[in-house]
Copies of this chain bind each other. A is one copy, B any other.
Amino acid sequence: FKEFKAQSVSEFFKKNAAMLGYTGKIRSLTTIVHEGVTNSLDACEEAGILPEISVWVEELGTEHYRVTMEDNASGIPLEYVPQVFGRMLAGSKAHRNIQSRGQQGIGVSGAVMFSQVTTGKPTSFLTSTGDTHIVKGRVQLDVKRNLGEIVDKEKLHNTSGWRGTVIAHEAKGVLYNKSRYSPYNYLRMTSIANPHARITFIEPDGTRILFERSTTLVPKPPKAIKPHPYGITPDDLLTMASNTDAKKLGAFLEKEFVRISSAKAEEIASLSGVSLAQQPARLSWDDAERVVNAFKATKFFAPPTEGLRPIGGEEIAKSLTSTLSPEFTQTITRAPQTFRGGILFVVEAGLAYGGKAGKGGIEIIRYANRAPLIFDQGGCAITEAVKSVDWKRYGVRDVEKVPLTVFVNIVSTHVPYTSAGKQALAMEEEIHAEVRYALMDCGRALSRFLAGKRKLYERRSK
């Protein structure tokens, strides 16, 4: 045991950078873009701002690039800069029950780490919250202590009242191309699911590509949603009880959960045998188990719909039509459900048949909280759910050749990813079932369309 040592979370992710998506030259570059763009979209949406995002990739040498990203979001107060850019597991989203693309507090610090480790250089930033000055500087990450350090900074006069953030990462051992895994396709997929964002992309050869917004409707800022009693575990209940400021169990149940009225709280008390006057912080494990069992025996309304922001069936159909020119599309947004821990989620799906749909067989397009999942398709529960559908029943003769694109978007206050790289969903039974129902629902419409097409074909050939 003389060798026994602890390490910091940054040391762990530096050694295991593949877990954050920094594996392979093309994916590493796209991951840097992904971390910046998801943060910008989240910050814009939270502040109710129509996103103007630009991404500029410059080639500085062989496998040596600089990625500069600018947004018009809320800006980052100077005192938070070291934590935002240099401290893993620190952020504004991880501990809140809110739909957002980020949820770990690791993303941008990971990009700072990767570029620092490959070039020895800090990350440059420029940010303002819209007040009288703009802060410009460079920041790096102290891996051993998991802390951010501002290397240098200066304050500039903010004459135009600019608000937003610009980040520039320099990285080596990365590569730009226009494959399915490149920054170009990532931004295209991002604009499909975020019709309110205008994204400008400048490629290394100087080509400017504008992904114009197709709606000026700003999605209502996501709202923190309380957990629903279904799916709560005794440990969740105890953790919530230790963090609440409600003095009694009754008030705690009504305040911290959705769908629990005072009448419902009474019902729970009588079913569980735990008094509503009990102080939440003094609940025992047995009490918690009894309350949770009472939840399971009680009828609650379904989770509310206003907290989550799906893309919407119409928007999905519009996007599928404009990118694939299919003969047939069908979309669906299912009702909210819950999985482990009372976590709300909504599944929406779409099918596109014919035109440019399919890639020599079924093509799967996956999103989580409107962020595209480009990598790790093989290890994703969405892929498994798509494969588990018996497509033959819906008129698909050969899954290896059919011109069919399957679109799935999961929105939730906590997306269960398989790894910190956030590109694949872990298997949760409730999510798997919902994806299947959504696809089978669309499948039935597809089967009617294909039957009609076949009839038409047979009539003509008679």
Contacts and interface: CB of A to CB of B under 8 A. Distances in A.
Contacts of A384: 378
Nearest to A288: B120
B90 A4 contact: yes
Contact of A89 (B9, B23, B91): B9
A140 to B, nearest CB: 12
A262 interface: no
A383 to B, nearest CB: 7
A384 B379 CA distance: 12
A419 B416 contact: no
Q: Report copies per complex.
A: 2
Which size bracket describes the interface of A in this complex? 35 or more
B6 A376 contact: no
Contacts of A87: 6
Contact of A15 (B6, B8, B94, B378): B94
A398 to B, nearest CB: 14
A420 interface: yes
B12 A89 contact: yes
A185 B79 CA distance: 53
A174 B377 CA distance: 27
A359 to B, nearest CB: 17
A290 to B, nearest CB: 12
Given A120-B235, A378-B383, A427-B23, A4 B417 contact: no
A376 B418 contact: yes
A113 to B, nearest CB: 10
Given A120-B234, A414-B15, A5 B428 contact: no
A281 interface: no
A280 to B, nearest CB: 16
25 contacts: A1-B80, A1-B92, A3-B92, A3-B96, A4-B92, A5-B90, A5-B91, A5-B92, A6-B83, A6-B87, A6-B105, A7-B94, A15-B94, A16-B417, A18-B416, A18-B427, A19-B420, A116-B235, A117-B233, A118-B233, A120-B285, A376-B379, A376-B418, A379-B379, A418-B421
